[in-house]
């Protein structure tokens, strides 16, 4: 089955499930996609225009605000709880990415040990 056929038979709907579950469906049903990673499938879907990132900019959030006026500068910009959550979310995403990188480096470092679970006994660590 081709990508367009799979999408035509079962179009993505957030009400049905998550994007990850939909990507899994595509990996199993589209010919030659079983060996692709979810990340690769996600990139293909974005490139084809089938999947869009769902994120709002600060300006779009301000437009939804009841006190928004295009003529007047917002006085609540520093105290707005919604904007603070968006900013905090961006910071946490950056921190999460750096922590994931650090974890992968530590796992790589551990993989070079003789026995990463050995604690102090030199015979368990491979020493004589």
**Residue 65 pLDDT:** 77
| 30-34, 68-72, 80-84, 118-122: the lowest-pLDDT one | 118-122
**Residue 4 pLDDT:** 83
Classify residue 19: in a domain, yes or no.
Answer: yes
**Residue 74 pLDDT:** 76
Domain interval for residue 13: 1-54
Classify residue 113: in a domain, yes or no.
Answer: no
Count of domains for the chain:
1
Classify residue 28: in a domain, yes or no.
Answer: yes
| The model's pTM | 0.43
Yes or no: say if 46 and 23 are a contact pair by the CB < 8 Å rule.
no
Classify residue 99: in a domain, yes or no.
Answer: no
Q: Could you tell me which residue, 40 or 123, shows the higher pLDDT?
A: 40
Residues 26-72 have pLDDT tens digits of: 888 888 888 888 888 888 888 877 776 556 677 777 777 777 777 77
The two counts, helices (H) then strands (E), for the chain are: 5, 0
Classify residue 46: in a domain, yes or no.
Answer: yes
Classify residue 42: in a domain, yes or no.
Answer: yes
Classify residue 115: in a domain, yes or no.
Answer: no
Measured distance CA(29)–CA(107) in Å, rounded: 33
């Amino acid at each position: 089955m081709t990508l367009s056929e799979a999408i035509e038979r079962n179009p993505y709907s957030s009400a049905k499930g998550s994007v990850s579950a939909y990507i899994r469906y595509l990996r199993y049903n589209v010919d030659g996609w079983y060996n692709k990673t979810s990340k690769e499938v996600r990139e293909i879907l974005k490139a084809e225009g089938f999947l869009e990132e769902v994120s709002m900019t600060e300006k779009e959030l301000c437009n939804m605000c009841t006190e928004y006026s295009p003529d007047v500068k917002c006085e609540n910009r520093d105290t707005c709880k919604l904007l603070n959550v968006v900013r905090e979310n961006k910071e946490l995403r950056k921190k999460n990415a750096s922590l994931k990188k650090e974890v992968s480096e530590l796992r790589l470092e551990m993989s070079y040990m003789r026995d990463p679970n050995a604690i102090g006994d030199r015979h368990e660590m491979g020493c004589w």
